Amino acid sequence: MSEPLQQRWCAAIEYDGSGFRGWQAQQPGVRTVQALVVDALSYVADHPVEVVCAGRTDAGVHALNQLVHFDSHSRRPERAWVLGSNSRLPDDINVRWVAPVAADFHARYSARSRSYRYVIWNRPTRTALGRHRAAWVYHRLDADAMHRAAQGLVGEHDFTSFRAVACQSPTPWRSLEWIQIRRDDDLVVMDVRANAFLHHMVRNIAGVLMTVGKGEASEDWPARLLGLRDRRQGGITAPAQGLYFVGVRYPDYPEVDDKTRPAQEPMLPGPL
Cβ–Cβ under 8 Å, residues 163 and 235: no
Cβ–Cβ under 8 Å, residues 96 and 12: yes
Q: Can you tell me the distance from the alpha carbon of 181 to that of 190, in angstroms, rounded to the nearest whole number?
A: 4
H helices, E strands: number in the chain:
6, 10
- Asked whether residue 116 is marked as a ligand-binding residue, the answer is yes
- Cα-based torsion angle of the residue sequence 57, 60, 63, 66 in order, rounded to the nearest 10 degrees: 30
**Exposed e or buried b per residue across 187-202, where buried means at least 16 C-beta atoms within 10 angstroms of its C-beta:** bbbbbbbbebbbbbbb
Catalytic positions, written as ranges: 58
Taking alpha carbons only, the member of 271, 265, 120, 114 closest to residue 190 is 120
Cβ–Cβ under 8 Å, residues 14 and 64: yes
Query: Which residues fall in the annotated binding site for substrate?
Result: 116
